[in-house]
Amino acid sequence: MKVSVLGATGYAGAELLRILYNHPHADVVHITSESHTGEPIAALYPHLRGRYDLTLESMKDIERIGADSDFVFIGLPHGHAMAVGKALEKLPTRIIDLGADFRFDDTDIYEAWYHVPHTYKNAPRVYGLAEWHREEIKDAKIIGNAGCFTTASILALAPLAAAHLIDVNTIIVDAKSGVTGAGRGPKLGNHFPELYDNFRAYNVAHHRHTPEIEQEVARLAGETTVINFTPHLVPMGRGILATCYATLKAGVTAEQVDAAFQERYGAEFFIRLLGRDGYPSTKEVRGSNFCDIAWHIDERTHRVIVLSAIDNLVKGAAGQAVQNFNIACGFDEKTALDVVPMYP
């Protein structure tokens, strides 16, 4: 398959190139960057030296790039992918967007949270959370890759919502992310003296991943939901740990919770169940496409606490995009992703 990466100079784009290099059925033919057009990718990411001799192109001739590609991966900020999708609408080229433009069923929700008009409302899109949308992904023209916080949170909550074991309007998600989740662009809050030896919350009650989690939990539960989601920034490069709380419905037992996770994820390669009372760790999934999940039952409050750990650049972005690519192409889902996490 000929593939192109739009926005290859972001962290997710560079991670995508790293993974695709080891993919036996993917040939990267175009990489783009508007701010670094004409520069070799290895000049910006020396770890790719000797592996990619490609020069970064402009996206101005997107129709030519699309016509030359079976798949286009989009690693651009929100608001840009919808224009690409529209430009490639009549081509057989398929799209995997790592941004937010194609994640929502209701574009009014997208506009309310992202504050830009959606210019491709009728796009033939599916939500790209592989473990829950495989069948739709297989034939999709456009795949809206799930977000990083949302991947960790939805995977943690989905079995319980689908089995109707929790009151979905009692959900609280408390999640921590490494700084790569904020992108490569310099920002004061990510400056070393500001970040080092520090720990803080941000976008409390307003983070844009909130409605994405609500959409998928509501879809599985068959009822609308409103959740609390609070993200935090921690002084590490990679990783997300999501701690998800919900009240169990009356009469629900710990054994039913155990069974819900086992029945849904027992055969999933990329989800590793640590079981009841386990403790996932970001370091144990670093550099991998795994999601480690454990859960605890608080009998005093009759609440379940689900812990979920992922690498935000792999399972939370580039790895999941390649997993979706494999599903869409009919390849083994593990292709280029069957790697042991880096440790320590």
Active site members:
148
Collect all residues with Cβ–Cβ distance below 8 Å to 60 and sequence separation of at least 6: none
Structure tokens at 167: 């009151």
**d(C-alpha 188, C-alpha 229), whole Å:** 24
Q: Phi/psi zone of residue 286: left (φ > 0), alpha (ψ -120 to 50 degrees), beta?
A: beta
What single-letter DSSP state applies at residue 55? B
CB 72 within 8 A of CB 95: yes
CB 292 within 8 A of CB 285: yes
Return the closest-CA partner of residue 24 out of 339, 336, 334, 320.
Answer: 336
CB 337 within 8 A of CB 19: yes
Query: Strand order of the sheet with strand 200-201?
Result: 200-201, 228-233, 166-177, 240-248, 303-310, 291-298, 271-276
Query: Which uninterrupted H or E stretch holds 218?
Result: helix 210-221
Question: 3-class DSSP state for residue 4?
Answer: strand
Nearest-10 Cα torsion for 183, 186, 191, 192: 70
Collect all residues with Cβ–Cβ distance below 8 Å to 228 and sequence separation of at least 6: 171, 172, 173, 205
Nearest-10 Cα torsion for 47, 147, 5, 13: -20
CB 166 within 8 A of CB 180: no
